[in-house]
């Protein structure tokens, strides 16, 4: 929908706008009002180049798109009926919980093995473990490829699918060759379109899942969904959207918690929403409440950092990882709340001692 700055386009302006849209298979339909005429774009109005050319005209106020810019991720697309089944959980039918260490310590592999058993016992469905870590400080521990073997051994010992973040194509290849079940795209790479495309190509013919986190800045909802479109466009539909807090930080929290965007995402896309409360608030004491808030907003899953001995962990674990007993209680309450929202749990059962 084209809105001119004046009441209507002049004949010369109308001819120029028509010349822009026609090569894209579109035409204009004037809608004449009492004081203003606007111009509907009839055809596929999602082409970015066409929109950019129209918005570059000095006499155009703005161009409002009625069609979704997401051909595949849109909740009205042919993929809307797709259901993601990971392990024994089908998203939308049961709350998915991903849990585990922020960072695997290659010098102490037993920490991950013990954590893996603990998170499974607590009710988690997927084990997360940081093999490679993005760090602001170049002198901080960046992870170790040896940790990939530790992560896969934890999978063999527990049977839990595993989730690992990748930051470049070398790590992507190593993770896939090792048999990682879920690739995580972190906030720093959430708008790295070259990496997103590489992941899309690499997983196109594989039964691999992608957990796509929201970028660190307060980006638009459409920007988040468009990042997922890069991956899905190659054929693999198993993408999960992960709000994880944004910048600027809210005083006292690591980031600005953004679990409230879940309903906005669900209005636009069919993709499941799995919220990361650990990075949102950044402190273990706040994580359970943030996790429950995410479920209350309609999240399909949670991604929670946990460690058998957080104080002995590395990376973010000492400050934001939950102990196994707190994780178990959080998962129990989250699933009660999830069932309550679905109308299958009595209200009095929630938070019962």
List pLDDT tens digits, range 228-261. 999 998 889 999 999 999 988 888 999 899 999 9
DSSP code for 316? T
Give pLDDT tens digits for 129-140. Answer: 999 988 777 777
Res. 344 pLDDT band, cuts 50 70 90: low
Give pLDDT tens digits for 265-314. Answer: 999 999 999 999 999 999 999 999 999 999 999 999 999 999 999 999 99
CA atoms lying within 13 Å on the CB side of residue 19: 7
Give pLDDT tens digits for 113-165. Answer: 999 999 999 999 999 999 998 877 777 777 789 999 999 999 999 999 999 99
Residues 130, 288: Cα–Cα separation, whole Å? 21
Per-residue pLDDT at 314: 92
Per-residue pLDDT at 347: 44
Sequence-ordered alpha helix ranges (H) in the chain: 11-21, 48-55, 109-122, 146-158, 169-178, 193-203, 221-232, 262-268, 277-281, 287-296, 317-320, 324-341
Per-residue pLDDT at 351: 43
Whole-prediction pTM value? Answer: 0.83
Residues 276, 302: Cα–Cα separation, whole Å? 6
């Amino acid at each position: 929908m084209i809105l001119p700055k004046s009441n209507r386009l002049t004949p010369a302006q109308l001819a120029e706008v028509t010349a822009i849209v026609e090569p894209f298979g579109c035409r204009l339909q004037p809608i004449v009002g009492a004081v203003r005429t606007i111009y509907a774009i009839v055809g596929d109005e999602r082409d970015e180049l066409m929109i950019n050319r129209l918005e570059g005209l000095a006499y155009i106020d703005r161009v409002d798109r009625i069609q979704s810019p997401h051909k595949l991720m849109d909740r009205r697309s042919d993929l809307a009926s797709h259901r993601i089944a990971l392990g024994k959980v089908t998203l939308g039918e049961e709350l998915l919980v991903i849990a585990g260490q922020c960072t695997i310590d290659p010098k102490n592999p037993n920490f991950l093995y013990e954590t893996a058993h603990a998170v499974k016992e607590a009710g988690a469905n997927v084990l997360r473990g940081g093999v490679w870590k993005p760090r602001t400080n170049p002198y901080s521990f960046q992870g170790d490829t040896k940790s990939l073997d530790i992560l896969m051994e934890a999978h063999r010992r527990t049977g839990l699918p595993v989730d690992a973040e990748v930051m470049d194509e070398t790590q992507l290849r190593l993770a896939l060759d090792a048999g990682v079940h879920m690739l995580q795209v972190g906030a720093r790479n959430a708008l790295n379109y070259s990496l997103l495309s590489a992941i899309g190509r690499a997983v196109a013919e594989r039964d691999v899942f992608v957990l796509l986190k929201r970028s660190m800045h307060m980006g638009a909802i459409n920007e988040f969904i468009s990042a997922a479109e890069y991956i899905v466009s190659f054929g693999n539909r198993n993408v999960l959207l992960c709000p994880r807090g944004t910048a600027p930080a809210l005083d006292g929290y690591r980031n600005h918690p953004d679990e409230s965007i879940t309903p906005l995402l669900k209005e636009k896309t069919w993709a499941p929403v799995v919220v990361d409360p650990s990075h949102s608030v950044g402190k273990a004491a706040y994580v359970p409440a943030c996790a429950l808030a995410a479920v209350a907003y309609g999240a399909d899953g949670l991604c929670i950092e946990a460690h058998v001995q957080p104080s002995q962990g590395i990376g973010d674990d000492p400050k934001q990882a939950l102990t196994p007993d707190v994780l178990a209680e959080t998962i129990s309450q989250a699933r009660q709340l999830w069932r309550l929202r679905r109308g299958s749990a009595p209200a009095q059962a929630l938070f019962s001692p």
